């Protein structure tokens, strides 16, 4: 089962390694991992998408709470949250295909952020299903490179 976990931590050396090691040591696969500073740069938020059993994950979350420098842990799997991820794609795009690619971008509210003679760089944000659908539609044009953040999440309301 897929779980999205948000962990508020003190921005200190080794915190991420301890958290990732704790999950992997208990047999969880970390599918995506994002880390970024908060408004107050003394703190960071770690957002991880983890695959594993729900009961075992509850135990793992309790263990994470006990780690030094961990301030808050939120499991978004069962609560209401807004989720987004960012994908950046470099496509091969001949001049005669660019209008088709632009139409696909319009449908998904993606932005063309760079144009070169033989390629386009595109950015798109959305939930994982929307990102997957976008990638399926543009794949036939030829994906040269791709970078994808994985999920970020915040509580609703």
Q: Note the pLDDT of residue 137.
A: 96
Structure-token pair, residue 127: 């939930």
CB atoms within 10 A of CB 16: 18
**Where are the chain's structural domains?**
2-79, 82-155
Alpha-carbon distance of 10 to 19, in angstroms, equals: 12
What pTM does this model have? 0.84
The CATH fold assigned to 2-79 is: Alpha-Beta Plaits (3.30.70)
pLDDT digits (tens, 9 = 90+) for 40-84: 999 999 999 888 787 878 888 888 999 999 999 998 876 678 999
Topology alike, domains 2-79 and 82-155: yes
Q: Cα-flanking dihedrals φ and ψ of residue 73, to 5°?
A: -130, 130
Alpha-carbon distance of 98 to 55, in angstroms, equals: 49
Q: Note the pLDDT of residue 110.
A: 98
Q: Note the pLDDT of residue 100.
A: 95
Residue numbers in the chain where pLDDT is lower than 70:
78-79
According to CATH, what is the number of the domain 82-155? 3.30.70.1150
Q: Note the pLDDT of residue 102.
A: 96
Alpha-carbon distance of 10 to 116, in angstroms, equals: 42
Q: Note the pLDDT of residue 78.
A: 65
């Amino acid at each position: 089962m897929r779980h999205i976990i948000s962990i508020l931590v003190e921005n200190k050396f080794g915190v991420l390694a301890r958290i990732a090691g704790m999950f992997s040591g208990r047999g969880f696969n970390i599918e995506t991992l994002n880390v970024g500073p908060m408004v107050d740069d003394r703190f960071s938020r770690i957002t991880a998408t983890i695959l594993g059993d729900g009961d075992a994950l509850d135990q793992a979350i309790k263990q994470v709470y006990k780690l030094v420098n961990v301030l808050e842990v939120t499991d978004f799997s069962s609560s209401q949250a807004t989720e987004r991820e960012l994908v950046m794609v470099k496509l091969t795009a001949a001049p005669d295909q660019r209008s088709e690619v632009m139409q696909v971008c319009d449908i998904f509210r993606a932005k063309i952020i760079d144009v070169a003679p033989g390629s386009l760089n595109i950015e798109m944000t959305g939930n994982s299903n929307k990102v997957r659908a976008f990638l399926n539609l543009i794949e036939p044009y030829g994906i040269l490179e791709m970078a994808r953040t994985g999920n970020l999440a915040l509580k609703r309301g």
